[in-house]
């Protein structure tokens, strides 16, 4: 796997989850800070990583989402696979 | 996603002085100003030691190892990594499915915008992608040597062999949020093979209106099917040693049409509503979704996930890998004919 992901956000939620948001390197069409801020309350309401990725994946420019628990254990990674073409 | 902006200031999410009343992701309400839509409490995952594997009767081989086909270890046919015979690569899931860790990425019905999710890793990717934590998505018309799929059913009306029953209805979701299913269903013990897909092509693709056959199946070493004849009279054959390899170079739509063909009781004819274009899925729709009464279909992400990782039983929890293990599998090699081979 050699997708080139670039981290663009690192959010810590009320649940203790850490959400890392990535774009594809060179993608100029990134989600706006307003868009990310807009859904922070929604993310804070999600007890499951699944809800977090569902809420985030629809934003243009989001290519990978990683959700970690408060112990830095990866719970879920959802990514757009540009290598598989 | 639909965002509705109201005009009644209150607690909640605001844009300027306007309050957002509801936020939908796809068709799912994820936020409401009447209160968040909250899922049930998160279950905890308790590490459980890997059990002593039982013998799995596949292809005459007794598979007892926490192994899988990934990381380009299965070299055969002169290739650095390749798909291998289904069911020969490692121990089964708790429900008896094989290769839900590795071999090829498998399509699910789940959508991300217009993309579709696949799961399970493949013969080339590294081990982390085999785990329950990873989901992968791409446009549904992708046809590569890395992805294929397996099928699902509620009742298996054709009594297809190599379908396993998944019970434990209303099992709790994993801590990822995936895996809860409220009904009994069948799922393929193996990925759909070249042999099975060849039968499909010979039934409905003498004229291949919807490009069910991809030339890479024939022209590349990783493809498993050849085509002869001309439009209107095509016929298809599996390559030597490729019958029991998972079919690849199929799009999500190809797999959906395969399901429609099964739904319609394997008819022979051109690609019409009574063969490939309707049944489990109405292929004329923009975003194709499972229809009521579907007989054979692509697994939902929850159906796929449960079959792969759930331990069976009430509140039994989930394995991290579909080899009944929380430890990462070891990559498997291959025999000269492409069966999984423990070194």
* Arithmetic mean of pLDDT, B106-118: 94
CB atoms within 10 A of CB B322: 32
CB atoms within 10 A of CB B225: 23
Cα radius of gyration (chain A) = 12
- pLDDT the model gives residue B187: 98
Sort out which chain A residues have CB atoms less than 8 A from B41's CB and list them: 47
- Using alpha carbons only, what angle is made at residue B297 by residues B295 and B302, rounded to the nearest 5 degrees? 120
B103 contacts B69 by C-beta, under 8 angstroms: yes
Q: In the block, which residue shows the tokens 């308790």?
A: B46
Least confident of B23-27, B103-107, B182-186, B307-311: B23-27
- pLDDT the model gives residue B32: 41
Min Cα separation A55/chain B (Å): 6
**Partner A, chain B 175-234, Cβ-Cβ below 8 Å:** 175-178
Mean pLDDT of chain B: 85
- In this predicted model, what pLDDT tens digit does every residue of A19-37 receive, in sequence order? 999 999 888 888 888 888 8
> Measuring CA to CA, which residue among A62, A58, A44 is closest to residue B24?
A58
CA-nearest residue to A79 within chain B is B136
- pLDDT the model gives residue A3: 67
Which of B14, B30, B41, B216 to mutate: most A Cβ within 10 Å? B30
Report the alpha-carbon distance of residue B343 to residue B340 in Å, rounded.
Answer: 10
Q: Cα dihedral sign for A37, A10, A81, B296?
A: negative
Least confident of B4-18, B83-97, B189-203, B318-332: B4-18
Q: Cβ–Cβ of A78/B38 closer than 8 Å?
A: no
What ipTM was reported for this prediction?
0.90
More confident residue, B114 or B225: B225
3-state secondary structure at position A50: helix
Alpha helices by DSSP H, listed for chain B, are 194-204, 215-219, 252-263, 301-309
What confidence category does residue B24 fall into, taking pLDDT thresholds of 50, 70 and 90? very low
Report how many Cβ contacts below 8 Å link chain A to chain B.
98
CB atoms within 10 A of CB B17: 7
Instruction: Tell whether A42 lies on the interface with B, counting CB pairs under 8 A.
Output: yes
- In this predicted model, what pLDDT tens digit does every residue of B136-157 receive, in sequence order? 999 999 999 999 999 999 999 9
């Amino acid at each position: 796997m050699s997708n080139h992901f670039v981290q663009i956000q690192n959010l810590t939620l009320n649940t203790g989850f850490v959400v890392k948001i990535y774009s594809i390197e060179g993608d100029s069409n990134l989600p706006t800070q307003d868009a990310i801020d807009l859904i922070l309350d929604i993310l804070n309401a999600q007890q499951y990583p699944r809800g977090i990725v569902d809420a985030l994946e629809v934003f243009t420019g989001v290519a990978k989402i990683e959700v970690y628990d408060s112990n830095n254990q990866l719970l879920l990674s959802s990514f757009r696979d540009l290598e598989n073409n | 996603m639909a965002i509705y902006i109201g005009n009644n200031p209150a607690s909640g999410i605001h844009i300027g002085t306007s309050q957002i009343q509801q936020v939908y992701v796809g068709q799912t309400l994820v936020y409401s100003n009447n209160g968040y839509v909250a899922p049930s409490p998160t279950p905890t995952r308790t590490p459980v030691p890997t059990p002593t594997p039982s013998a799995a009767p596949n292809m005459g081989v007794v598979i007892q190892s926490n192994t899988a086909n990934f990381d380009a270890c299965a070299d055969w046919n002169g290739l650095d990594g390749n798909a291998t015979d289904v069911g020969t690569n490692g121990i089964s899931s708790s429900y008896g499915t094989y290769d839900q860790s590795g071999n090829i990425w498998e399509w699910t019905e789940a959508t991300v915008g217009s993309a579709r999710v696949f799961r399970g890793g493949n013969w080339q990717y590294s081990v982390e992608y085999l785990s329950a934590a990873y989901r992968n998505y791409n446009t549904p018309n992708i046809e590569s040597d890395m992805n294929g799929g397996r099928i699902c059913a509620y009742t298996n009306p054709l009594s297809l062999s190599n379908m396993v029953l998944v019970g434990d209805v209303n099992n709790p979701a994993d801590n990822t949020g995936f895996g809860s299913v409220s009904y009994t269903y069948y799922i393929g013990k193996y990925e759909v093979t070249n042999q099975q897909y060849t039968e499909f092509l010979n039934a409905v693709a003498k004229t291949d209106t919807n490009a069910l056959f991809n030339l890479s199946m024939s022209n590349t070493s990783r493809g498993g099917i050849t085509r002869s004849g001309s439009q209107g009279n095509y016929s298809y054959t599996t390559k030597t040693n490729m019958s029991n390899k998972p079919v690849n170079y199929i799009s999500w739509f190809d797999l959906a049409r395969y399901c429609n063909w099964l739904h319609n009781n394997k008819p022979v004819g051109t690609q019409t509503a009574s063969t490939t274009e309707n049944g489990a899925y109405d292929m004329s729709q923009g975003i194709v979704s499972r229809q009521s009464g579907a007989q054979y279909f692509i697994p939902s992400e929850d159906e796929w996930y449960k079959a792969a990782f759930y331990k069976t039983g009430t509140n039994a929890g989930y394995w991290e890998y579909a080899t009944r293990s929380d430890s990462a599998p070891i990559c498997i090699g291959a025999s000269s004919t492409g069966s999984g081979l423990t070194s």
